Amino acid sequence: MVAGIIGSGFAETYRIEVKKFTVTSPDVPAAFDGTRIVLLTDIHRGWFFPQDRVRKLVERVNALQSDLVLLGGDYVYANTDYEASCFAELARLQAPLGRFAVLGNHDYGTYGRGKRDGEIDPTPAIEAIRGAGITLLDNQAEWVDKAGARIRVGGVGDVKEDTPQYAPTVEGTGAGDFVILVSHNPDYAEELPVGAVDLTLSGHTHGGQITFFGLWAPFVPSEYGQKYRTGLVVTGATTVIVSNGIGTIFPPIRLFARPQIVEITLRSGPSAALQP
């Protein structure tokens, strides 16, 4: 029985699903109505996720023909030497409105030691991202333009390994602007003021990775228990979409927490609405 569970869990790591959401808001400009965003996070290139799987992942994302690609961090697992090979493939991602990335905790080279130890070194990740022609958004933001309209896309450094700052994302924005924030760790949503960010996109939790029928996970790397395990979370300050991500940590299995490519369609509408 145990062997069967392990075998099933290993097979599930290959069953990547495209999880679709629709976000409707009066702040979405008419020019962006129907714009499709792909969130790709937690690839964990390493021993359990070889180069050919990254290549096939990029091909699958490109087949979606999205307008904007956002990368949510943790491109490697346990060894930042894999950053270069991972981004050699991610450089082939296609998105006419841009490709943006933030770092995840594994991209700092600390492997869980944390920023308090003063040992972080995200240089391999930063160099790989920039070498791939992808825009790094750690504590930075950009306006994304389309047909004379624009939305704001920003990102923050990792909660555990850096000091995340949302201020650059909201700088220069007004009440009618649509603002997207990419934060590897969804816990940062708890730090956001009401109304500053319309949509927060995260990964990190792997959907729990090993769950009881997708309903509860014995371990979720979050200070808020099951709240940010997976999917759509509406808080008092922002709307959060948490992806299950692609790869795994040890053990390299998933149970009722399928790996995900998240696709978000923006809609311009008279009132805010969300549709998983």
Q: What is the mean pLDDT of each run of 10 residues along the chain (276 residues)?
A: 72 97 96 98 96 98 98 95 97 98 93 56 96 98 98 97 97 96 98 97 98 96 98 95 97 97 95 66
- Which residues face 234 on adjacent strands? 239
User: What is residue 39's DSSP assignment?
Assistant: E
pLDDT, residue 117, reads: 54
Query: Tokens representing 44?
Result: 């964990």
Q: Which two tokens stand for residue 228?
A: 């940010």
Looking at residue 270, what is its pLDDT? 82
| CB distance 61 to 90 below 8 Å | no
Tell me the pLDDT tens digit for each residue of 44-71: 999 999 999 999 999 999 999 999 999 9
pLDDT value at position 111?
59
User: Topology of domain 2-269, per CATH?
Assistant: Purple Acid Phosphatase; chain A, domain 2 (3.60.21)
pLDDT at 235: 94
What is the C-alpha separation between 86 and 49, in angstroms, rounded?
A: 10
> Can you give the pTM of this predicted structure?
0.95
- Burial status of residue 79 (CB atoms within 10 A of its CB: 0-12, 13-18, 19 or more): middle
- Asked if 239 and 231 count as a contact pair (C-beta separation under 8 A), the reply is no
pLDDT at 274: 65
What is the DSSP secondary-structure string of 237-272? S-EEEE---S---SS---BS---EEEEEEEEE-SS-
